[in-house]
Structure formats: C-alpha cells, structure tokens
C-alpha cells in the first residue's frame, strides 16, 4: 500500500461527440494530473464510464493510459460487477503488466446480504493476481458493506489491502480504522469528506475532483496526511464549493465540463448520462477562475 498513499484520481474517459473514445484527450488528462502532483491513477472506475464501455474499449483505454503514463505512477484497474463468476474469470485472465492493484466495487443491483458480499470478495481474493481494494459506495450499489464485513475480509485475506469508503458514514469509517489489521488501509471515496477521513486516520483518496484541480487537491491531502491541518483546511474550503458543483448534475458530467473549460478534452458522455446544463457549466467556470491552477 505504500505506493498508493495520498491522492489517486479515478480517470474520466474522454469521448468525441459521436461516442468514440478520445485518446488524445485521454493522453492530455493523464499528463495533466501527473503534472499536478497526484500519486496514482485509477482506470475504468465509475468516473471512467466503465458501465458503457465494451471489452475492446476497456482494453484500449487501459493500454492508452499505460502508454501515456510510461511507468511514472502506479495504476489501479477497476474490475467489478454483480456476477461473481464473470468478475472471477476477468481476474483469472488479466494481464497484470503495469498494474499495482485492483479496485472492485461491491455487487450492485442484486442487493446481496452481508454473507453474499463476503463470499463474493472471498472468491475474488482467492483468484486475484493482484492486491484488491474493496469499493463501498451504497449510493450506487444499493447495499452497504458493513464495518464487520470489511474487517472480516481484511483479517482473513492478506491480499485485500484497502477499502475505498464512499458510504458517507463517518462512524462506520472510524470503526474500520480503529479495528483494521496493520496491512489494511481506508481510502476516501468521497471528495468532500476526504479531509475529515484523513483526520481520523485515513490513508488518502481516490478522487474525482482531483482531476479538475490536481495540485490544490493533492496539496490538501499531503497537508492532511502530515497533520498540517491549518493548511489542509485552507485547501479543503477552497475546493468545497467546486466539489459540490462538480457533482450537482451527476458524475462525470460535471468533471468533463471542468476538463472542457481547461482545454483538456470535450464534455461528451454516453447515454444514459448527459452533459450538464449551461448554467452549471458557467458556475464551474467561475470556480476554476477563482481557484486557478
């Protein structure tokens, strides 16, 4: 986990107006966040619109990110789903070259019990060629990974090394941090709660907003981890309104609007997602002008 301390960014997948992947925009984005000081890259997560990419497109995006990155930062790959056997097969056939870990979202839509969630991740841990980061995001999956289930998995499997926590439940998050084994870490999955999570012992963040403001966000995380809380608070409140705006009409629509304003890529997303309203885009532009970078 030493390689994954600090600020990771869940990369968007830039697209042309006809839905094709914009590989020039993807290269621009990778270089922009690296130049901004982030610590690692996360490919094919929710923000990358993985739900609407086919297998060939996913492979092409991963290879493009590897090429643009050129070994500069660790890469975490999103591999998840609500069909345990299918996810297991993907992991067994995975080419792990250039990858550091797997980020695997808790099964969505099926609404499994805690026992089902435990057995899902048990199967993945037993076959994964790379360390696994659990991803708990109840707002998208329809079910929460309880602190008890997270800790059970962390204690039983050395290759389950972290959880990306986006439950918004600080009590649950603190329970995990208090009781976790030494090899296991808690990563914020909620940009607005990143600093509070760091303050109670979190290890870093996998961020959306960190792509639009990589330097400011990375500075906040670095200050938070080094307990320079006055400076961390300044960055946190500098970013708070921008964070709220980027999620106001869904992710990654707000993020792609910010990246368009910065000249990195276009704002296009795939249905059923849709670009943000002009009024929100104007507010995002005002925040970019205010914060700078």
Single out the catalytic residue among 164, 235, 260, 275: 164
Beta-bridge partners for 102: 77, 132
Query: Is 228 noted as a catalytic residue in this protein?
Result: no
Beta-sheet strands, E only, within 31-189: 40-43, 75-78, 101-105, 132-136, 160-165, 185-188
The conformation of residue 17, written as its DSSP 8-state character, comes to: T
- Give which of 223, 291, 231, 275 is closest to 14, Cα–Cα: 275
Entry field: residues in the chain:
293
Beta-bridge partners for 134: 104, 163
Distance in angstroms (rounded) separating the CA atoms of residues 39 and 206: 10
Helices (H) and strands (E) in the chain, counts: 13, 8
Distance in angstroms (rounded) separating the CA atoms of residues 199 and 194: 9
Single out the catalytic residue among 135, 256, 275, 283: 135
Query: Is 278 noted as a catalytic residue in this protein?
Result: no
Element (H, E) at 138: helix 138-141
Distance in angstroms (rounded) separating the CA atoms of residues 68 and 26: 8
The residues annotated as belonging to the active site are: 135, 164
């Amino acid at each position: 986990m030493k390689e994954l301390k600090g600020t990771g960014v869940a990369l968007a997948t830039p697209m042309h107006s006809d839905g094709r992947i914009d590989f020039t925009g993807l290269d621009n984005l990778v270089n922009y966040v690296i130049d901004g000081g982030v610590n690692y890259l996360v490919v094919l997560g929710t923000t990358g619109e993985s739900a609407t990419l086919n297998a060939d497109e996913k492979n092409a995006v991963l290879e493009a990110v590897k090429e643009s990155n050129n070994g500069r930062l660790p890469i975490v790959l999103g591999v998840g789903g609500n069909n345990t056997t299918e996810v297991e097969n993907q992991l067994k056939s995975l080419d792990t070259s250039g990858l550091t870990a797997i980020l695997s979202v808790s099964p969505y839509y099926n609404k499994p019990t805690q026992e089902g969630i435990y057995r899902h991740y048990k199967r993945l841990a037993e076959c994964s060629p790379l360390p696994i980061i659990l991803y708990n995001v109840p707002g998208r999956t329809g079910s929460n990974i309880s602190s008890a289930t997270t800790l059970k998995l962390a204690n039983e499997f050395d290759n389950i090394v972290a959880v990306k926590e986006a439950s918004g439940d600080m009590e649950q998050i603190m329970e995990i941090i208090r009781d976790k084994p030494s090899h296991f870490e808690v990563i914020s999955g909620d940009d607005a709660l990143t600093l509070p999570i760091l303050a109670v012992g979190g290890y870093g963040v996998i961020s959306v907003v960190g792509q639009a403001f990589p330097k400011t966000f990375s500075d906040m995380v670095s200050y938070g981890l080094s307990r320079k809380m006055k400076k961390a608070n300044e960055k946190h409140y500098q970013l708070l309104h921008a964070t709220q705006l980027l999620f106001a009409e869904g992710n990654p629509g707000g993020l792609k609007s910010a990246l368009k304003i910065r000249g990195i890529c276009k704002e296009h997303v795939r249905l059923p997602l849709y670009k943000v309203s002009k009024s929100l885009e104007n507010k995002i532009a005002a925040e970019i002008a205010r914060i700078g970078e």
